[in-house]
Amino acid sequence: MEPYEFLDHPGPIPFAHRGGAKGQPENSMPAFQRAVDLGYRYLETDVHATADGVLVAFHDRTLDRVTDQSGPIARLPYSQVGKARIDGTEPIPLLEDILGSWPDVRVNIDIKDEPALAPLLRTLHHTKAWRRVCITSFATRRLIQLRARLPLYTTEPVCTSLGPRGVMALRARSAGGPAGKLVRLAATGVACAQVPYGLGPVPFVTDTFVQGAHDLGLKVHVWTVNRPAEMDRLLDLGVDGIFTDDLVALRHAMAARGLWDGLVRG
């Protein structure tokens, strides 16, 4: 059995990116519900904190792109953020809403801004969801701070991913670089590398990258993959998870290989 309950899954993990942004408004409760209805047991979302410390599941730092309101979330009270509607129709959910609505679902959480760190720890403590989550960030510093604070809140094993510095070290390792730093990270709660499938036209995830990660005991989860041909390429390489907006396409790609039926609900 995996040391982290979050990763205890037979076969590659299908992740519903922002709930599955193709089909319903991203990071909305209908998007998450659609993913669950399609059989997804893993949801991906992002978190920000409002000015008064309320933790919301939302990708951008500002409301402008996808809601009918504007302004930076970190500078607005929840009384204002709560009035915003995604695509003009759906309220922004709290992370606690997602964790509570589907207690058997696992959630990959991207910390988008430093003010969200303390509210996230409080939310996970309140919901006792430590084993159901994997925490990542595009800021290495946030992940260092998270890992330093975790012992103050829980003794549970909490899955986290490599930050950008670790990902680049892993990429260098796949080209023959040293592995010392990555071995140390793997021993301190880092269980996976969550990486883009490519950088422009150049593949980021290659056979040597996947093998190098696996040699260090790290899982490889790849984002955000919406083309069936790329899904097939990554599955051929033996990746351990794929994030997608196109829930139906990934389900079909995995079902064609016998990786869906019986492995996830639905």
Q: What is the CATH number of the domain that holds 209?
A: 3.20.20.190
What token pair was written down for 149?
């604070």
Whole-number Å distance between alpha carbons of 50 and 198 = 33
pLDDT confidence of residue 266: 38
In a domain, 264, yes or no: no
pLDDT confidence of residue 84: 98
In a domain, 263, yes or no: no
User: Which residue reads 């140390």 in tokens?
Assistant: 184
When pLDDT is cut at 50, 70 and 90, the band that residue 264 belongs to is: very low
Q: Report DSSP state, residue 92.
A: P
Q: How distant, in Å, are the alpha carbons of 121, 161, 179 from that of 171?
A: 30, 15, 10
Query: What does the pLDDT look like over 49-100, one tens digit per residue?
Result: 999 999 999 999 999 999 999 999 999 999 999 999 999 999 999 999 999 9
Range of the domain at 189: 5-255
pLDDT confidence of residue 24: 94
Which residues contact residue 179 at a Cβ distance below 8 angstroms, ignoring those fewer than 6 apart?
173, 216
Of 84, 48, 87, 52, which is closest to residue 69 (Cα–Cα)? 84
Task: Enumerate the active-site residues.
Answer: 17, 59
- Number of folded domains in the chain? 1
Q: Is the pLDDT of residue 179 over 70?
A: no
In a domain, 200, yes or no: yes
Of residues 221 and 264, more confidence is placed in 221
When pLDDT is cut at 50, 70 and 90, the band that residue 185 belongs to is: low
In a domain, 260, yes or no: no
Whole-number Å distance between alpha carbons of 14 and 194 = 13
Cβ atoms of 173 and 180 within 8 Å: the answer is no
pLDDT confidence of residue 183: 59
pTM over 0.75: yes
- Write down the mean pLDDT value for the chain: 93
pLDDT confidence of residue 202: 87
